[in-house]
Chain A
Amino acid sequence: MQEQDLAPPVAQPTLSPAARRRQWKERAIAGLITVVAFTGIAALVLILVFVAKEALTLVTDAAAREEASFSKMFLPQVVRKGKPLAYVWQPVSSVPKVSMIPLFVGTLKTTLVSMVVAVPLGIFGALFAAEFAPRRLREVLKPTIELLAGIPSVVLGFFALMVMATFLQDVFGFTSRLNAVVAGLGLALAIVPVIFTVTEDALTAVPRSYREASLALGATPWETAWKVVLPAAAPGILAACVLGFGRAIGETMIVLMASGNAAIVSWNLGDSVRSLSATIAAEMGEVVVGSPHYALLFFIGVELFLFTFVLNMLAGMWTRKVIQRLKGGAG
């Protein structure tokens, strides 16, 4: 300390005016770029704020509170006198009934069907691509699945509506042509690429040394893949499934076109369903701006935003976990 105090002060380099101007310019550019970079955060916040803002009428407006209170949304209601209480979504009848339960049930049914199909397909497909496929085949497989990911959802919805619906009705004899199974299978087409890609990334992130150690101990390639690589990538695979789940909940056009759009509470997969997202898409066009129904649709938007936000945060956490685990293990 004392020696430092005794040392002669370091001469500050004096900058020429030109150099100083250049320095200011650099700072200005860096500042501008930093400000622009906040657009992403701003967008996310603005989305929540402005979707929630339109839904706020449900709380602030007395008439809207009367028509669409939270108890009416989530508890069973009197639908007809003398009949048991029920969950009904009929926001445009003379006495609006606004139960969210049929929409939750519908969303859940299509999502579950899609997950049951897409999770095994995506994970096994990725395991094949990452561990077993010869390099040639693998180099064909990945772009093919990227191509599948590039199909617009309205095209998948069209395919589900025109082709799959008829085929499935012929095979299973559904009473309604458009139902949870058709929509769910359509959704599966949309989320298989998500699950495949994220899983494949997680699997290829597993260090070579893991595989070599396993093989050196006498394990066969499939034992290595199944008992070493797969568990090592487990958090990443979980993240893949959660991301797929989030996509399936929020996907709109496929469900809108292929689900039949009937808000029915039942666990029969052959019944028509109405999902949260499709309800917004189908009803927003005819709704009176500022009415309770309008606010309700925005409220559904808030719900969807929050669901998918939570799922994405979880997926992000698990993806980081797999990277940390593998880095720690390999280092």
Chain B
Amino acid sequence: MKHTTRKVVGLSLVSLTGLAAFVIVAMLGLILLDIVRGGWSHVSWRFLTEAPTDGMMGGGIFPALFGTAALTLLMTLAVMPVGVLTAVYLHEYAPPSSFLARAVRVAVANLAGVPSIVFGLFGLGFFILFVGKGLDHALGYQELHWAQPGILWASLTLAVLTLPVVIVSTEEALRAVPQEQRTASLALGATQSQTLARVVLPGALPGILTGAVLAISRGAGEVAPILFTGAAYFLPDLPTSLNSQFMHLGYHTYVLATQSPDVEATRPLLYATVLVLLLLTFALNLVAVLIRTRTRRKAAAGH
């Protein structure tokens, strides 16, 4: 190839790839701009603290906010112990290249790729129709008590969905704890579990928190898995027990966007709801990124 053609081809390749990167960023910018512009003026303290009114044509989103928070809190309580211990097994206990550890890894990677709607079916089939029905039977309830959609089942379904997120980021956090610290602890006579509890886990704590935050931001935005496991169309009362249904920001968005009799009238409301949901997930992601960069910097400074 001649020198000039080489240069031209090179330049066009660089600009083509640069253009692709630019388009991705521009799309993100466009989405943010549209949602912020559409929703900003409608987000107010009253909007955040009032229940919807007029058949969801007015009022606020408090029950949806509360439902989303309660749902993700329960989900986090369920997923963190399991996710962290699984990562601990993979990184601290499993013999290197053991068959079992490999099987767990493959399963977790595949779990991450299961479509979210299938998690919804799973929640319905397993938690509600199997576990719930079994509980009702065992506890002697005559009418449906546990064998119906509720916040507990929805949060457990989400916990299964976010399990891979927690496992992957916890493992990364464990990897970042220097091997010498473990060796030093063991050399001082500490057992493996003492080393784990007093050296490894504290050292990995920021990374584990990152995982929790990422799981929360993922779980808070998922709608498909809670469609049949507990989310309610309209429910002015807050959920009072583990088997009550609840409102949810994402589901509320879906309902307002597709089933409103008057789209023009609900548009500001809709945009404001989306903006709140988006700000929530972004804030969580930002927290995760901040924790991660801080730990990385600390780790870099330590060496």
Contact = CB atoms under 8 A, between A and B. Distances in A.
Interface of A: 22, 25-26, 29-30, 32-34, 36-41, 43-44, 46-47, 50-51, 53-54, 120-125, 127-129, 131-133, 141, 143-148, 150-159, 161-163, 189, 192, 196, 220-223, 225-226, 243, 246-247, 249-253, 256-257, 277, 280-281, 284-285, 297-298, 301, 304-305, 308-309, 311-313, 315-316
B234 to A, nearest CB: 14
A152 B217 CA distance: 9
A159 B34 contact: yes
B115 A277 contact: yes
Given A51-B118, A150-B285, A301-B121, A43 B160 contact: yes
Contacts of B10: 220-223
A284 B227 contact: yes
Interface class of chain A by DSSP: helix
Nearest to B11: A222
Interface in B186-218: 191-193, 217-218
Contacts of B111: 40, 43-44, 47
B250 to A, nearest CB: 4
A220 B6 CA distance: 8
Contact of B114 (A121, A225, A250, A256): A250
A252 B258 CA distance: 14
Interface stretch (B51-59, B125-133, B134-142, B235-243): B125-133
Given A148-B27, A154-B254, A33 B13 contact: no
A305 B114 contact: yes
Contacts of B126: 46-47, 50
A32 B109 CA distance: 22
Contacts of B106: 313, 316
Contacts of B93: 30, 33-34
B289 A143 contact: yes
A237 B13 CA distance: 18
Contacts of A141: 21, 25
B254 A312 contact: no
B113 A311 contact: yes
B281 A158 contact: no
A50 B24 contact: no
Contact of A51 (B23, B103, B112, B125): B125
B167 A29 contact: no
A148 B24 contact: yes
B299 interface: no
B201 to A, nearest CB: 12
